[in-house]
Each structure stands twice: as C-alpha cells, then as structure tokens.
Amino acid sequence: MMVNNMTIFLINIFFIFFSCQSKKNDGNYILYKYFDEYNLKGVNKIDNIENYEGKYYVSVLAAKDSIILHKMQKNKIIEKLVYFKKKGNWELNSREENSGNEKSFKGISYYHKKIIKNDTIYNYSYNLINGKYTNGCLSYTTKQKSIFCYDCGIDILENKLDTEYAKQYLKECNNKEVFYKKYIGDRMFIYYEDGTLFDVRSFCFGYFDSDEKNNESFIDEYQ
C-alpha cells in the first residue's frame, strides 16, 4: 500500500511539473494579428485574446536560431511553420500533402524551400505527382517586386540552393515574369512589368487573396 501511495504521489508531482512547463512554454508564445515573413516579426500584438474580434491570428515563439509560428483560428492551430537560422540566413522547408477528395488530386505533394535575408524571400517550390517531379518554380520577392522563373529543372534540387545560386539562376532564366506591387490600405495592387494591372488582392489569412474579405493576414510573398 505504501508503494502504491508513493507511486501515486510521484505521478502527481510529475504531472504538476510538466503541466507547469507546458504553461510556461505556452506563455513564451506572443500573439499577433499578422506575421510579416519578410522581416520575420509579428505585427499588431494582441494583449488580450478574449477581446480580440478577428477571425485569424498568429502565435510566435522566437529564439536565437529558430522561430516557431502557429497560424491560428479560434484557439486552433491551422498550420505550424518552423524557421531556422543557417549561415546568416533564415530558412523554411515545408511539405504539404494534397487533402482534396477528388481522385485526380491524390498522390500530389507540394514542397517549398525559402531563404529569407534582408527583407527578401527566395522561394523554390515544386510538386511531386506520384513521385514524379513537376512544376518547379524559383522566385525572388520583396514587398515591392516579384520575379518568377518557371519550368525550373530538378538541377536546383541537386545543387545547394543559396542566395547567390538563386540570383544567378534568375538572371539566366529565359521563362520568367516580373510583377510590381503597390499597397493602398489593406489591398495589394499587382502590376505586370509594362504597368498593366494583373490583380487586386486583400489581406487574408495565409497570404494576399482576392477572394477573401477578412482583413487578417499572414504577410507572405505573392505566389
């Protein structure tokens, strides 16, 4: 009986300890209305989530060499992203499986590798369809300009992608588009290189989107 009581006592101690640790870790996350990926900082801090009237927000845990970002909706984590520091740059590697119900979309995986430096994002994305490489795209984006290089070969995968390699690849790319961006209020106006209007997008959760009316946003590059 003494052993059982002692065991229960120790279990309770461990439970209290880990509960406190969990609460402590949760307390390190700071809530913001937006997250600006260009400079990797939260925007518009939320001091009292109970009084927050928005639909979406983000929670951010920043350390010296890593940043953990949760995209949130009503206390529910929609997506988790982890940025890590490498050779003076910030990097993000993500993979997403298609969640659509249509049979034609089964077996599709989406990959992104981002390198972020000096308010500039280099993003290499591609798809795997049943294990076959397709839709490779390398982009360079700032808040004012985006360059997209399409039909990138798998050679980018085989080389170590860094900012210098990306700059040279974009310079030599023969199949690319250039866009310029202007901001008015919560809207982003996107123009072709010749000044023709391409699209108008509003802030929404995750990126700028022309179909979303909410004014919450994860500030990302136009893609």
Q: What is the pLDDT of residue 90?
A: 95
Q: Chunked in runs of 10, what are the mean pLDDT values of the chain (223 residues)?
A: 44 40 57 88 89 86 93 86 92 78 67 91 89 89 92 79 90 93 84 92 47 39 40
- Whole-model pTM: value is 0.74
C-alpha to C-alpha distance for 163 and 76, rounded to whole angstroms: 35
CA distance 141 to 121: 5
User: Where are the domains positioned within the chain?
Assistant: 30-219
